[in-house]
Amino acid sequence: MKTKIIAALAATGIATIAMAKENPTVGGAPMMADMTIAENASAAPNLTTLVAAVKAAGLAETLMSDGPFTVFAPTNGAFGKISEASLNALLEEGNKAQLQQILTCHVVATEAFSTDIAGMIADDGGMHVVPTVGGCNLQAYMEGGMLKLKDENGRVATVTTADVDQSNGVVHVIDRVILPAGQAG
């Protein structure tokens, strides 16, 4: 009898829903789909530099709001590719506007999972323009089965962990900091 019920559920697709993919971990920390982007990022040990930058820029409240947002979240290693002097300068109070622009170039004002982005890339013939809240236009494309983002300086970030569902959007972890046009890193 139990086998017949399971077979019937599988035939109707209900079993597929019950076995839905779990949210990926970030830096080994579980990410909770019922928590905000800011709350989950604070729990990830590989996003501590991003969290510090978001707080220094005064953007934590924004990333706790309803959204929806898509955030391309650079890891500590991504920030490590920026010189220590440049990073420390960005975190100073006098550079808050510049830091805000850099961070908002990692944010899109909609929720876009990797399948959505891949569909837009395919629909646009292999490259899709992604306008960010910070005014940057990223070029999204696929290479070797990986989602890539090219900033306005030609720097390329790879999505290393995709589709981290949040209560107010989705996070895609990336391996490089995105910079607005004309900014070197």
Q: What is the pLDDT of residue 21?
A: 61
pLDDT at 82: 87
Q: What whole-number distance in Å separates Cα of residue 149 and Cα of residue 42?
A: 24
- Residue spans of the chain under pLDDT 70: 1-21, 184-185
Return the CATH number at 44: 2.30.180.10
DSSP state of 24: P
What is the reported pTM? 0.85
Angle at 165 between CA 17 and CA 167, to 5 degrees: 105
Q: How far is CA 34 from CA 24, 107, 120, 160, in A?
A: 14, 19, 27, 22
Residue 6 resides in a domain:
no
Query: At 99, is the secondary structure helix, strand, or coil?
Result: helix
Q: Do the domain assignments include residue 183? A: no
CA distance 143 to 6: 39
Q: Please measure the distance between the N-terminal and C-terminal CA atoms of the chain and give it in whole angstroms.
A: 63
Q: 119-145 pLDDT, tens per residue?
A: 999 999 999 999 999 999 999 999 999
Q: What pLDDT score does 185 carry? A: 55
Is residue 182 domain-resident? no
- Per-residue tokens: 35: 């928590």
Q: What is the pLDDT of residue 15?
A: 33
Examine residue 180 and state whether it is found in any structural domain, yes or no: no
**107 assigned to some structural domain:** yes
Our count of domains for the chain comes to 1
Q: Examine residue 70 and state whether it is found in any structural domain, yes or no.
A: yes
Domain that holds residue 125: 24-174
Look-up: residue for tokens 């706790």? 64
Judge contact between 157 and 148, C-beta under 8 A: yes
